[in-house]
Amino acid sequence: MPQPSILPRSPSSPAEWDAYFDLRWRILRHPWNQPRGSERDSLDQSAFHLLVADDSGRTLACGRLHLNSPSEAQVRYMAVDEDVQGRGYGSAILAGLEAEARRLNVSQVVLNARDNAIVFYRKHGYATTGEADTLFESVRHVRMAKILR
């Protein structure tokens, strides 16, 4: 199967938004028996969203960036379909979110990384700054940050 080009873009149609939120739910909520809708929050309306889709329109990766302050942005809801992890889709999403943060003249990007994603974020220049909330009483997170140059 040929690999789709890795060109992150913002969801633009109702079907793309549905697929975007479905991937967030399947990867980040469903394994912990969280209901549909738990993959969304009040900042989605004002946030910057990216996805990578294959030629059939299936969403392979997604992520979101929102502002915490004029100088700090936060990455949330990064998800890559289990079938395509390790192929660069998450890196492409993260690079696109960081590019948007730079466009907004943000000096720092923060995120809360699950244990299984810490190495990924370190590879992209993020440093651990402390503990973050544990989700669903079992999913440990650490706070990470990156200074944008």
What integer pLDDT is reported at residue 56 of this predicted model?
86
The two three-digit tokens of residue 87, written as one number: 């192929």
* pTM of the predicted structure, to 2 decimals: 0.89
pLDDT above 60: residue 136: no
What integer pLDDT is reported at residue 138 of this predicted model?
57
β-strand 59-69 against 48-53: which pairing, if any? antiparallel
pLDDT above 80: residue 124: yes
Domains, the chain, ranges and CATH? 14-106 (3.40.630.30)
Q: Which helix (H) or strand (E) holds 104?
A: none
- pLDDT class of 135 with cuts at 50, 70, 90: low
Report, as an integer, the average pLDDT of 46-51: 97
Sheet-wide strand order for 139-147: 48-53, 59-69, 72-80, 108-114, 139-147, 127-135
